[in-house]
Amino acid sequence: MKRLAIFASGSGSNFEAIAEGCRSGAIVGAEVVLCVCDKAGAYVIERAKKFGVETLVFNPKEFGSKREFEGMIADRMDALGVDLVCLAGYMRIIGDELLERYGGKIINIHPALLPAFPGAHGIRDAFEYGVKVYGVTIHYVDATLDGGKIISQVAVPYEGDDIEELEAMIHKAEHKLYVETINKL
């Protein structure tokens, strides 16, 4: 079994899609062994508990540096034998410590067709720009913001003017693409 760690800061709908994918067999031969969360009270923690997945919740302010808290995370991942790290709404840039220890094994999902609309507000930025084809990208993580090698993408055509409807469509596409991509990897 390949062992996955999922990093999230918020709701965790992608966490749930991946955990459910492992449980249902849509992702073959993998299990989620750790949920890493930098926000106490984030809903992803409830979802992890529901799936019986260990949670590592930490407050970055309680550490002297990013290297320190990333070292703590990497130590736990080493102990669990993590094979792949999936970022799913983790609102921090991955630093040197994790890149040095888990580089090449960290992937991220972004709710836009990179290299267009990087950053924290991909959906809103694309919507305000007025594009007609939105999408989702999964890529390897390196030291750049949303800039690592692309693994998979899917387009989401939308010409309406309701951003909530658009967000729902993109999240649905994310869940499907993340499960398919992890299964392939």
> Residue 110 Cβ, how far from ligand GRF at the closest point, in Å?
6
Note whether 8 binds ligand GRF by CB under 6 A.
yes
Note whether 135 binds ligand GRF by CB under 6 A.
no
Alpha helices (runs of H) in the chain, residue ranges in sequence order: 13-24, 43-50, 66-80, 96-102, 122-129, 163-184
Which residue in the shown chain puts its C-beta closest to ligand GRF? 89
Cα–Cα separations (whole angstroms), residue 1 to 43, 72, 83, 126 = 27, 24, 9, 38
Binds ligand GRF by CB under 6 A, chosen from 21, 34, 111, 182: 111
Q: Rounded CA gap, 172 and 101, in Å?
A: 32
Site string for ligand GRF, 59-98 (x = CB under 6 A): -----------------------------xx---------
**51: which DSSP letter?**
T
Interface stretch with ligand GRF, choices 25-33, 95-103, 109-117, 125-133 (CB under 6 A) = 109-117
Cross-strand partners of 37? 8, 57
Q: How many residues does the chain have?
A: 185
Cα–Cα separations (whole angstroms), residue 102 to 74, 75, 85, 160, 161 = 8, 11, 8, 41, 41
> Residue 77 Cβ, how far from ligand GRF at the closest point, in Å?
20
110 noted as active-site residue: yes
Binds ligand GRF by CB under 6 A, chosen from 2, 10, 57, 71: 10
Q: If binding means CB under 6 A, how many residues of this protein chain bind ligand GRF?
A: 12
Residues 12-51 that bind ligand GRF (CB under 6 A): 12-14
Q: Which positions are catalytic? A: 110
Binding-site ranges for ligand GRF (CB under 6 A): 8, 10-14, 88-89, 109-111, 174
